[in-house]
Homo-oligomer: A and B are copies of this chain.
């Protein structure tokens, strides 16, 4: 039974609560914090996009196509589908000699409501470019471009989301190497954007992000790839999420000192390079991002050295004032004492 990590209060009374598990681990595999069941395999969903983007750099595609920081960042993103995002994705596809029709992620309206309304007002309809995973998929197609090596790219790329496609095999191999977990026997599901997702223990996910933080435990080429991806996101944090998004806001504030990435169903992973630590969170109910975000904010507060302004910024994300439609404060969303205590014991 996982403990309560986050509580929602209304008028001073606990209204709802979120149980979950958290692992903070260093690159040597030493467990710094383990709350709840960190051995049960969970689907990391979009939280591991930076690991899935390793082949984009390692294959040489990023160099050959002269991908920019924005393009590398959006390959690691679950973006809002805002115009700035779709423009960058379209540019990546063009560099590979492809267009929106090559994307196999499916189509949805932009996640950001105001962007969806603007698109509608302009008489537009969403395309696969607006899909929050379109940057990741454009990255896969750049790998396909590299591997097709002048052959029939459209034909080679078709079906790239399938587990047995050469591109997806390469992506899965990078994920397996980073997590040190056998994905051949792991439970497998299909993700929202149609690629495979593998269930992996939080312990292994946190280890993978400690490797992202330090490069330790990865081949030199992969260590270089994750460092390059991490820095690209730090330089273009808007690409990884967008307006009002937790990941974007935190990385705009803290730069390279935190690399964090949300996943669907209450998952959150992070690399903390200053401390050489990796973080992996799964909220049991997985219902939306609120509890995973509060947990991540509390972990960052505990493990990243912050000045007063930064500390106040992060506290607003780990102890969130809830307001109603009239702007009246009606309650809060906060990290539990149990979560803070478990982190504080190990922050030294």
Contacts and interface: CB of A to CB of B under 8 A. Distances in A.
By size class, the interface of chain A is 35 or more
Nearest to A287: B287
Interface in A95-115: 104-109, 113
Contacts of A194: 324-326, 328
Given A8-B265, A121-B121, A285-B18, A192 B13 contact: no
A12 to B, nearest CB: 7
Given A109-B117, A116-B116, A285-B285, 10 more contacts: A11-B187, A15-B286, A16-B265, A16-B287, A19-B19, A113-B116, A117-B121, A120-B120, A194-B326, A287-B290
Contact of A287 (B113, B189, B288): B288
Contact of A191 (B43, B105, B324): B324
A37 to B, nearest CB: 12
A187 B13 contact: yes
A266 B325 contact: no
Interface string A104-139: 111111000100111011010000000100000000
Interface in A1-44: 1, 8, 10-13, 15-19, 41-43
Contacts of A8: 265, 286
In the complex, the 6 A-B pairs of residues with the closest C-beta atoms, listed nearest first: A106-B325, A11-B189, A287-B287, A16-B286, A10-B189, A285-B285
B189 A284 contact: no
Contact of A189 (B15, B41, B117): B15
Given A285-B285, A291-B285, A190 B15 contact: no
Could you say how many copies of this chain the assembly holds?
Answer: 2
Contact of A324 (B106, B283, B327): B106
A131 to B, nearest CB: 6
A280 to B, nearest CB: 15
Contacts of A276: none
A159 interface: no
A170 B158 CA distance: 65
Contact of A266 (B16, B42, B189): B16
A11 B286 contact: no
Interface string A257-269: 0000000011000
Q: Quick one: which of A15, A108, A118, A290 has the most chain B CB within 10 A?
A: A15
